[in-house]
Structure 1
Amino acid sequence: MYPDGGGLYLQVTGAGAKSWIYRFSLHGRAREMGLGSLNAISLADARLAAAACRRQRQEGVDPIEARNIEQARARLDAAKSATFEYCAERYIAAHETSWRNGKHRAQWKSTLSTYVYPVFGSLPVGAVDTALVSKVVEPLWSTKPETASRVRGRVESVLDWAKVNGFRQGENPARWKGHLEFVLPKRSKVKRVKHHPALPYDEIPAFMAELREREGQSARALEFLVLTAARTEATIGALHSEVDFNERVWTVPPDRAGTKMMEEDPKPRRVLLSDRAIKLLKSLPREEGNPYLFIGGNVGKPLSNMAMLELMREMRPGFVPHGLRSTFKDWCAETTNYPNEVSEAALWHAVADKVEAAYRRGDLFEKRRRLMAEWAKYCTGQGAVKRGTVVRIRAAG
């Protein structure tokens, strides 16, 4: 320790590091306060800092405690100036590693950039209130209710993160229950959901017979989609590695189960494969190095996401592949005795009732296997009742 006078010392450690120290006594106890490295603080600056500390001591102020208070005030000021966009980026960075779905991560960023940042992204996160949240959500609520709901939920998550990390205080203005539910109308009253047109289930046997006569990957993919009641995205992205031919199961990862399912219940979906579905998959051509079941026109790529849609439009104008899931649901409801939860599980729908979901941990595996076998049988015409058939009942006696 090399004294300069007035409590200022230059401290030199055994490793050769040099720094300025102010030494003083408080309540009979010796204390030391670091003033900075010799590399950053000159002798003149160190003397000025030591002089300021001596003035504080003369006024009865602890210079160490005074500096701690000033630093805390600076941190608070910085927190107050942290923008919503800054907090959103921090939130995404902290959570995106747990989001296995790249599409989900992209949607988080795109929805905030499109709808939220232009309104209050550059404002301090502590200044975000109900009026600002409503300004973002209300215009979407009547035109894009699903998007509005997701945007609101994402804003709520960011604001909760900001509060926990000390960037804001008070209640969350994006909270739905007990708050925005009294500001915005119920979604069911805002806009009727426009469902995809569904091919009547009694037309499925004829449609499938016509489909089997067609050649090409589009026809096989569409037939497989019908047999499994799967989504288009899941079907065209299906990989050989996802199919267990021994167990007759196709496991669909969460990122292809649909955006809503990814958010509500992010887990793989097991699809039970019927005899016809297995036979179809085994008949598909293979391309070396291509992992996809339904190969596309470009080397190493899957079938185009428009291929099945174009084929469907050609075969049955006015209908789309996604509507075939509703066809399956109608068939289940009107011609089988399977409980509703079995067909819902086959369609990968999440259980709406959270209490019921907590108790129903399985995916009704064996019941769904029988259901899909019956559906495949119906699709081949074996379970269909032909129109115009008259069943004569012999007169009694």
Structure 2
Amino acid sequence: MPKKAKELSARSVAIIKENGMHAVGGVDGLHLRIVKGSCAWILRVVVGQRVNAFGELKNHRRDIGLGPFPEVSLAEAREKARELKKLIRDGIDPLQEKQERLNALRIKKQREKTFKECAEIVFANKARELSNPKHAAQWASTVETYAYPKLGDRIISSITKADIAAVLEPIWVSKNETAQRVRGRLENIFNYAKAMDYFTGDNPAAWKGNLEPILGKAKREVKSLPSLPYSEASKFIQHLNTKGGIAAKALEFAILTACRSGEVFGATWNEINFDTQVWTIPKERMKAGKEHQVPLSDKALEILKSVEINKGLGEHIFIAPRGGMLSDMAITSLIRRMHAEQLEIDSIGYIDPKQNRVITTHGFRSTFRDWSADKTDYPREVCEHVLAHKLPDDVEAAYLRGAYLEKRKGLMADWANFCCLNIAE
């Protein structure tokens, strides 16, 4: 039986100065360890058994630190030692339990991410996914504007659907389209948090059966962009032809093809087949995410040939004066200048009479659609396919891309003839 250490008093312990392990008694295994003047309490105990290098089962001796001396007094060290020895008698390894507790705290700390921290990672992912940098920036800015003030610094695991509703309620009716986009983006952020185990339970930004009963459906007012009546199209093109510069060429090409401005700005020479007179826009640049074939009228081809001199400046057809793609502002500024000039002539300018607003590039798609419905006998499906609108049936859409291509060629030729009706050759 091991010899019991003499139970030292606090005064006796205080005068120990020699380096080494000094048994202090009172509790078996309690020592004061001194190393170069630094003193600490150590409890030397046996915790279970383990196999040594020779395959022998030996007692597993452990040294457990109880804190520095004199910050931890002799009485406190003995009390801590008794508590630990009781745990050991109950079959608990204090060091293992402490390590497990520290690991649990570390994992908890790692999972305590703020909403902002999670959002910024999702923003970065979206920036890689979205081909248009402007859309990626808008994706982030709406969340920063509407969600950050209330949720930004909150631990994401603490956020509830009531918190999400509080973000959306102020704009749910007045800015419903924006609110719906924000809700969808919040749902994406919480999906990320759930995947990373930063959030558990149902997604608080989900709509069906979650936010729907709280916010309710809001009537969405769909506003079309200001467009020119088709009876004015020829006059506008005639005015446009008096303008020099690449912006005027791009705008006329957009009108004659009924394409979105972004599709025109991003057009490259390798997308044009001059033999078949077809412009093939890859799915990556289409709003619907599907490849779109655009029949080119003779007039549209003339515009392309007039800017062929720029081929050596880059892959894009309509290159900005300082290089790179044109911007929406270049076209918008051109339309506003033309409106101001026309206003001096007829005091009307280029206004959408239904909205009393200056027309836009995108509005010419509506101009084309109104003209095709009122002035032609082409089937609705053919006209909708020109605009690359998603048809109800994917099978029907695939059929129309092929079988109706020739009809769309005829439609686009008729549209070009209508737009250039009063323009002298």
Q: Please report the TM-score for the alignment, with normalisation by the length of structure 2.
A: 0.67
> For structure 1, which runs of at least 5 residues remain unmatched after alignment?
7-21, 33-44, 385-397
The answer to whether the Cα contact below 8 Å between 1:217 and 1:294 also exists between their aligned partners in 2 is: yes
Change (3 A) 1:383 1:226: closer
Closer, same or farther: CA 307–29 of 1 in aligned 2, 3 Å: same
The structural deviation recorded for 1:197 is 2.5
Distance in 1, matches of 2:52 and 2:116, equals 43
Counterparts of residues 288-367 of structure 1 (less than 5 Å): 288-298=312-322, 302=326, 304-310=330-336, 313=339, 314-315=341-342, 316-318=349-351, 319-351=359-391, 356-357=393-394, 360=397, 364-367=401-404
1:380 correspondence with 2:417: yes
Counterparts of residues 239-318 of structure 1 (less than 5 Å): 239-252=268-281, 257=286, 261=287, 265-284=288-307, 286-287=309-310, 288-298=312-322, 302=326, 304-310=330-336, 313=339, 314-315=341-342, 316-318=349-351
Contact 2:258–2:386 under 8 Å retained in 1: yes
* Counterparts in 2 of 1:75 and 1:48: CA distance versus 1, 3 Å: closer
Deviations 1:235-293 (A, max 9, x none): 23433343233343334456754xxx3xxx43454333223212221122524424432
Give the corresponding residue for 2:183: 152
Q: Cα–Cα, structure 1 residues 175 and 290, in superposed 2: closer, same or farther, change >3 Å?
A: same
Q: Which amino acid aligns with 2:296?
A: L
Q: CA deviation at 1:184?
A: 2.6
Q: 1:274 corresponds to which letter in structure 2? A: S
Q: Per the alignment, do residues 137 and 348 of structure 1 end up closer, same or farther by CA in structure 2, a change over 3 Å counting?
A: farther
Residue in structure 1 matched with residue 101 of structure 2 by the alignment: 70
The secondary structure found in structure 2 opposite 1:364 is helix
Given candidates 97, 100, 123, the residue that maps to 1:92 is: 123
Give distance in 2, aligned partners of 1:160 and 1:59. 44
Contact 2:233 2:419 in 1 (8 A): no
Alignment correspondent of 2:199: 168
**SS where residue 179 of structure 1 aligns?**
helix
Once the two structures are TM-superposed, the CA of residue 154 in structure 1 deviates from its matched residue by 0.7
State the SS of the aligned residue for 1:333: helix
Post-superposition offset of 1:90: 2.8
Take 1:168 and 1:332, find their aligned partners in 2: how far apart are those partners?
52
Contact 2:183 2:205 in 1 (8 A): yes
Over the matched positions of the two proteins, sequence identity in percent amounts to 34
Q: CA deviation at 1:323?
A: 1.1
Q: Give 3-state SS (helix, strand or coil) of 1:48's partner.
A: strand
Give the equivalent residue in structure 1 for 2:228. 199
Check if 1:113 corresponds to 2:150: no
Partner letter of residue 149 of structure 1? Q
Superposition deviation, residue 156 in structure 1? 0.6
Distance (Å, rounded) in 2 between the aligned partners of 1:361 and 1:208: 33
* 1:173 partner SS: coil
1:371 partner amino acid: R
Residue 415 of structure 2 aligns with an amino acid whose one-letter code is Y
**1:155-182, CA deviations, whole angstroms, 9 ceiling, x for partnerless residues?**
0111122122211222222111222222
Q: Is the 8 A contact 2:131 2:285 kept in 1?
A: no
Q: What is the Cα deviation at residue 377 of structure 1?
A: 2.1
Aligned counterparts of 1:64 and 1:170: Cα–Cα separation in 2:
33
Change (3 A) 1:364 1:53: farther
Change (3 A) 1:216 1:104: closer
Displacement of 1:123 after TM fit? 0.3
Could you tell me which amino acid in structure 1 is paired with residue 167 of structure 2? V
Cα deviation for residue 71 of structure 1 reads: 4.5
> What is aligned with 2:34?
none
Counterparts of 1:335 and 1:65 in 2: how far apart (Å)?
A: 84
- Which of 82, 91, 113 matches 1:60? 91
Any idea what the Cα deviations from partners look like across 1:67-100, whole Å, max 9, x if unmatched? 5642453145325631111112233344543333
What is the total number of aligned residue pairs between the two structures? 341
Q: Secondary structure at the match of 1:152?
A: helix
TM-score when normalising by structure 1: 0.71
Q: What amino acid maps onto 1:114 in structure 2? A: T
RMSD: 3.8
Structure 2 counterpart of 1:48, which letter? G
Unaligned segments of structure 2, at least 5 residues:
1-20, 22-28, 30-43, 54-61, 67-80, 343-348, 352-358
> Contact 1:312 / 1:320 at 8 angstroms: preserved in 2?
no
1:293-335 superposed Cα distances (whole Å, 9 cap, x missing partner): 2343335663724344235524542122221101111223334
What does residue 371 of structure 1 align with? 408
| Distance (Å, rounded) in 1 between the aligned partners of 2:387 and 2:292 | 9
Q: Secondary structure at the match of 1:87?
A: helix
Matches within 5 A, 1:11-50: 26=48, 30=51, 48=65
Report which of the two structures shows the higher radius of gyration computed on alpha carbons. 2
Shift of 1:211: 3.9
Alpha-carbon distance, 1:212 to partner: 4.2
Cα gap change, 1:270/1:61 in structure 2, threshold over 3 Å: closer, same or farther?
farther
Distance 1:65 1:210, change over 3 A: same
- The residue type equivalent to 2:404 in the other structure is K
